[in-house]
Structure formats: C-alpha cells, structure tokens
Homo-oligomer: A and B are copies of this chain.
Amino acid sequence: MTKKPLILISNDDGYQAKGLAHLIEAARPFGRIVVVAPDRGESGMSHAITIKNPLRLTLHQKSEELTIYSINGTPVDAVKLAMNQILKERPALVLSGVNHGSNASISVIYSGTLGAAREGCLNGIPSVGFSLLNHDKDADFSVVSHFLPQMIKEVLTNGLNDQTYLNINFPDVGLSEIKGIKVCRQTKGVWKEEYEKRTDPHGGTYYWLTGAFNNFEPQAEDTDEWALERNYIAVVPNQIDGTAHQDIEQIKNWNWIGKR
C-alpha cells in the first residue's frame, strides 16, 4: 500500500483557530497532515517574511497522521520553514485557512492566509487558500466543511497549472442558501481606510485602522464579489506573475533618459 499524500496546512489566524481545525478535519481522510501555523493572529501580514528575528517552532502534537507545530512568525515563514526544516518529502498540497473573514477582491493582497498559499505555489506545489465571510472567532464553518472534502479531492486529482493557486471564499449563509460554486476573477476595488484618531492618557495621538471596502465594479458578473453577494462560493485562480504585459510596449516609448 502506498503512503497517503503529505498535506501541509497553515493559516493566519493562529494554530488554535476554529477555521484551521475545520480544514484539518476535512483534509485528514486524504493524507498525512502537517500543520505549521502562527502562534498568534497574523491577519493582514500579506506575503511578509521575518528577516531580523530568529524563528522558533513549538511542537504541539505528533503522529504519522497529524503533526501540529506553531511558529513565532508569519504564514509565509510557516510554509518556508516547514518546507526547509520539517518536511522530509515535498507535500502534495499546501492548504491555508479556513480564514475567519473575506479574502475576496484585493484582500488577497493583504491576506496572510493567501500569503501561505502563494508561497506554496512559488515552490511548485498546488496550493489553495480558503476563507469564510465571517470574522467571528466562533463563526459557523459547517457549510465550508460540507464543501471542503470534494474541493480537496479535486485539487489532488487535477493539480493546478504551474504558478497558479486558488483563492476560495465562502459566503456566510446556511447550506440551503448556497447557490453554487462560481469560478471568477478578482474584483477591482480599494479599501477606503478610515483611521480612528484617539488621544492616549499622556496626550499622545494614535490611530486605529478601520476602513470599508469600495467595489469599483459592483455589476460585473464575472467577479468574486458579485458571486459572494449572491450566495455563490467564489473560486479565483491567482497567478504569481504580476507583470502588466499590456503596458510594456507603451512604457518602452517613454523618454527614459531625456535625450531625444
């Protein structure tokens, strides 16, 4: 009998997060699971790496079927250190999440959950980030758990093209309200940040990040935000290449060195 595939799991809400527990349970039937996840919440850490501080691992659980480490670093650190120091073989999958909160549209850029998935992809491993549109630490992940096994099975079966990873967001509704699954593109938008300005007891000024999402194309039916607002699960294939290829010829014509 061949060994079951090795599956690396991380997240950005920390190794004790409820969403992570649901992802582990969904993935267990498909492989041997190694979890390396931050030891605290690392939301908004994007693709950050720890350069100036040493990283440490804490082992919480170890067996052939399920091993869990936490790390004092970012989600990307977790994937990097797992690949380099913990895993004895290349994983068949890197899964990240399930995030407590949306990573649709441009949130994919800020998200630590998707950072971990992107790092898996950079290393040539089929990688997926999962998110539920509910920030609550006790959010109900039962609908996510309903769909996860088949999704994991399909990624294992089909693989993903080189340099592509998936960003899957679930609307926060009951199973009977789910309309289906839509493969989409990333919605154009921006977070309009509204910082809350406060004064500390010593008279110093400080700011808390708040902010609201501003959708630039709410009517675009091929976008992830459109799908999620209508109770579809949104799947966006993402790529590593960030080049604006369509702009290259235009920018070549600039007067770059001032001699014309």
Chain A residues proximal to chain B, CB less than 8 Å: 41, 43-52, 54-57, 74, 76-77, 80-81, 83-85, 106, 108-110, 115, 118, 122-124, 147, 150-151, 153-154, 158, 160-161, 163-164, 166, 180-181, 183-186, 188, 190-191, 193-195, 197-198, 204-209, 235-245, 247-248, 250-252, 254-258
**Which residues of B lie under 8 Å from residue A235 when comparing CB positions?**
251, 256
> What are 9 residue pairs bridging A and B, where the CB atoms are less than 8 Å apart in the complex?
A43-B51, A46-B48, A46-B49, A49-B110, A108-B242, A161-B244, A161-B247, A180-B257, A242-B242
Contact: A44 with B55, CB < 8 Å?
A: no
**Which residues of B lie under 8 Å from residue A74 when comparing CB positions?**
48
Contact: B44 with A46, CB < 8 Å?
A: no
Contact: B188 with A256, CB < 8 Å?
A: no
**Which residues of B lie under 8 Å from residue A255 when comparing CB positions?**
150, 154
Closest chain B residue to A241 by CB distance?
B186
Most buried by B among A57, A84, A166, A208: A84
**Which residues of B lie under 8 Å from residue A241 when comparing CB positions?**
185-186, 188
**Which residues of B lie under 8 Å from residue A118 when comparing CB positions?**
109
Main secondary structure of the interface of A (DSSP, over half): mixed
Rank and list the top 7 A-B pairs by shortest CB-CB distance, nearest first. A54-B206, A46-B47, A239-B244, A150-B258, A237-B244, A237-B247, A185-B243
So how many copies of this chain end up in the complex? 2
Q: Given the known A-B contacts A197-B85, A247-B161, are A123 and B190 also in contact in the complex, defined by CB atoms under 8 Å?
A: yes
**Which residues of B lie under 8 Å from residue A185 when comparing CB positions?**
241, 243, 245, 248
Contact: B206 with A56, CB < 8 Å?
A: yes
Instruction: Name the contact of A248 in the complex, choosing from B41, B57, B194, B237 (C-beta under 8 A).
Output: B237
**Which residues of B lie under 8 Å from residue A184 when comparing CB positions?**
248
Contact: A81 with B207, CB < 8 Å?
A: yes
**Which residues of B lie under 8 Å from residue A180 when comparing CB positions?**
257
Shortest distance between the CB of A192 and any CB in chain B (Å): 8
Instruction: Name the contact of A243 in the complex, choosing from B47, B84, B236 (C-beta under 8 A).
Output: B236
Closest chain B residue to A180 by CB distance?
B257
Contact: A243 with B186, CB < 8 Å?
A: yes
Closest chain B residue to A166 by CB distance?
B251
Closest chain B residue to A122 by CB distance?
B190
Shortest distance between the CB of A124 and any CB in chain B (Å): 8
